[in-house]
Structure 1
Amino acid sequence: MKKLIIASNNLHKIDEIKAILSEFPFEVVSLKEAGIDIDVEEDGITFMENAHKKAYEIFKIAKDAMVLSDDSGLMVEALGGAPGVYSARFAGEHGNDKKNNEKLLHMLEGKKLEDRKAKFVSAIVLIMDKDSTIKVQGEIEGYIRENETGNGGFGYDPLFLVPEYNKTFGELSSEEKNKISHRARALEKLKYELRKLVQQKEK
């Protein structure tokens, strides 16, 4: 079975990707499970630049495994697209969801819901071998609530209101989120490209 290394140790992200790619005969593992311990500096100005750099740096030491990298984040219209590529470290400390959410709410204080438009973006790069790379991007639009609701998800999920459901990502079940999220949409595009490659090889 072909090994697919996800260039992350974020268990929430890994579980989402594993669930959505379950139809493919891949052994999906995290960086830790693959025995890789490097910290790639994400200094790109777009999600796609960061995703590609991360995937490429891991691929160079991955020993015949495929490498998938996702760089994702939140873009708020009223903040000129911030936090953007700085989503995970918006408040200065990488991965501190509580502080990131507090900073976001503070910056949007006093704004009505219609002025709190936002979108989640997920850029995914899959390096299959030295000659084959797939790049896809998915987005979902919504609004930033004035307070956190729901205990599910991670990051900005409890603040991100999905209009079609009138619920935040934090209130949706993982199954519901995995059908509509930015990462799910990017992975659906990835699945389409993977199926095409499989069909080409079978001809």
Structure 2
Amino acid sequence: MNKLTPGKLVIATHNKGKLREIQALLAPYGMECLAAGDLGLPEPAETGTTFAENALIKAHAAAQAAHLPALADDSGLCVVALDGAPGVYTADWAEAAPYEGGPGRDWYMAMGKVEGKIAEKGPSTPRDCWFACTLAIAWPDGSEAVYEGRAPGTLTWPPRGTLGFGYDPVFVPTGDTRTFAELDPAEKHAISHRADAFAKLVAAQFE
């Protein structure tokens, strides 16, 4: 199996929040993270029906275009009462009016949509959920590796906090009373779904 070595690594995302988290998690391992957006790489169509399929699509596209190893993340919120939705369609639920340069994302609207669907099921509906993260690494020769992580929690309403992104303001991790958006980034990095997936990646790639 291929292994990552200190040097350049393309991060196949145009999401600046994800990019910051990934850069922070990889910093100790000598990786020079290059954003796909900064390299002008196009975003491939995410046609998969699982997090792993979509992560691999993005990683392979970036690795082939940049001729460098590439890391892609596909992650989302999965709500038990909604049969795992929004899941792989997490970002789609935030689609808003397009702006110049790309699609709009209205995360407050997306959080409201989740809350509305739970409310439709009645006040006693369980609010259990989890954040899922799949990390895929692809090399220019076609090799690949996949690592999956989870962070369990419950949903709260109304949204609280300003430090996170996406659905973070309504997600309360198990064992805490604060939302991900109320946690210091270092605290979130220690317990997040992305951290769980990264721990598995690090054990396989760097240890």
What is the TM-score when the length of structure 1 is the normalising length? Answer: 0.89
Give, in angstroms, the shift of residue 26 of structure 1: 1.6
CA distance in 1, matches of 2:142, 2:159: 44
SS in 2 for 1:90: helix
- Equivalent of 1:77 in 77, 80, 92: 80
CA distance in 1, matches of 2:140, 2:133: 22
Matches of 2:72 and 2:176 in 1, distance apart? 29
Find runs of 4+ consecutive structure 1 residues off by over 4 angstroms: none
The corresponding residue for 2:21 is 16
The answer to which of 179-188 and 22-31 deviates more is: 22-31
Choose from 92, 103, 107 the match for 1:97. 107
**Gap regions ≥5 residues in structure 2:** 1-5, 97-103
C-alpha distance in 1, partners of 2:93/2:14? Answer: 19
- Structure 1 partner of 2:101: none
Does residue 192 of structure 1 match 2:195?
no
Q: 1:17 to 1:9 in 2, by over 3 A?
A: same
In structure 1, distance between residues paired with 2:40 and 2:53:
25
Counterparts in 2 of 1:129 and 1:191: CA distance versus 1, 3 Å: farther
Percent of pairs identical after alignment?
35
Taking the aligned partners of 2:165 and 2:142, their CA distance within structure 1 comes to: 35
Structure 1 residues without counterparts, runs of 5 or longer: 197-203
Q: For each residue in 1:29-86, what CA deviation from the matched residue of structure 2 results, as whole angstroms up to 9, or x when unmatched?
A: 11122232x12111111000000011111211112x1100000000000001100111
2:25 alignment partner AA: I
Match of 1:31 in 2: 36
Aligned residues: 193
In the aligned structure 1, how far is the partner of 2:123 from the partner of 2:173?
A: 18
CA contact (8 A) 2:79 2:128 kept: yes
- How far apart, in 1, do the equivalents of 2:188 and 2:17 lie? 12
Q: Which moved more, 1:26-35 or 1:47-56?
A: 26-35
